[in-house]
Structure formats: C-alpha cells, structure tokens
Copies of this chain bind each other. A is one copy, B any other.
Amino acid sequence: MKQEHSGKNYRYSRQRERILEVLRSTESHPTASWLYDKLKPEFPRLSLGTVYRNLAILIDLGFARKIDAGSTFDRFEAKTEPHYHLICRKCGKIEDFEKHFFPEIDEEIRRSTDFDIEGHRIDFFGTCSDCNRKS
C-alpha cells in the first residue's frame, strides 16, 4: 500500500493495513464499528478512534470512500472503480452495480450550469430480492 497523497506522507501502520484488507474483503459496505468488531480479536487493544482516523486517511489516499445511504451512521467501501449503489428501503442493504455507467450525463449537466462538475453519484432505491421474497 502506497501511503502518499495530497502532500501528506503517512507512516506505515499495521492497523491501517488490516483495516483496508478487511474493507476490501467484504461487499457489505460496513460501518466503522463493524470493522472494529472484526479486528478486535486480532488487535485486543484496538480503539474505535483508530478505525475512524484510518478510514479518513484511507479516503484521503483514495483507497476508500464514504457512502451516504440515509442512515444515522457512516458506511464505507474500498471499491474505487466507478459504480452505483442499489439501496434496499426495507433492510438497508447496499449492493454495488457496475454493469452500466453513464459518463455522458456529466456532459449533459455541464452544458446547462455554471457548476464545475467533477462527477456524479447515483443511488437506486427499491426493494432487494430477499425482502421481496419475504413479503
């Protein structure tokens, strides 16, 4: 893991490395405390503050992203390729969707606003197949 970006140069830390590995190993778009629980057995003295601080650093390094899914808590992901999210209104599950990406809509918007558009995010809302099956 290269740890330099945006002027800053971060020292290596075993906790940070593992936080990124665990984040990369899941598709569940976890919370900070989920990561904390996962890593607590490995680092018995791990602190939640360490998880938060390192997630912020990983975001700064471009290795992770924060997701706003309407919950009261933040969720994170390590996927950096462009993709969208399917958010289940019933259970809150977030799934990645990468089959289509629409770069042309940025152009469309650029033409009719003076905002300097860098990119966009799309979230699709609905009900996941698990929840559909149950009702």
The yes or no answer to A54 lying at the interface (CB within 8 A) is no
Size of interface on A: residues with Cβ below 8 Å to B: 36
When A70-B68, A115-B129, A123-B120 are in contact, do A100 and B95 touch as well, CB less than 8 Å?
no
Number of copies: 2
Task: List, in ascending order, chain B residues with CB within 8 A of A69's CB.
Answer: 68
Chain B residues, CB < 8 A from A25: none
Partner of A116, one of B99, B115, B118, B127: B127
Q: Which residues of B contact A97 (CB under 8 A)?
A: 109, 113
Q: Which residues of A contact B (CB under 8 A)?
A: 66, 68-70, 84, 86, 88-89, 95, 97, 99-100, 102, 105-106, 108-109, 112-129, 132
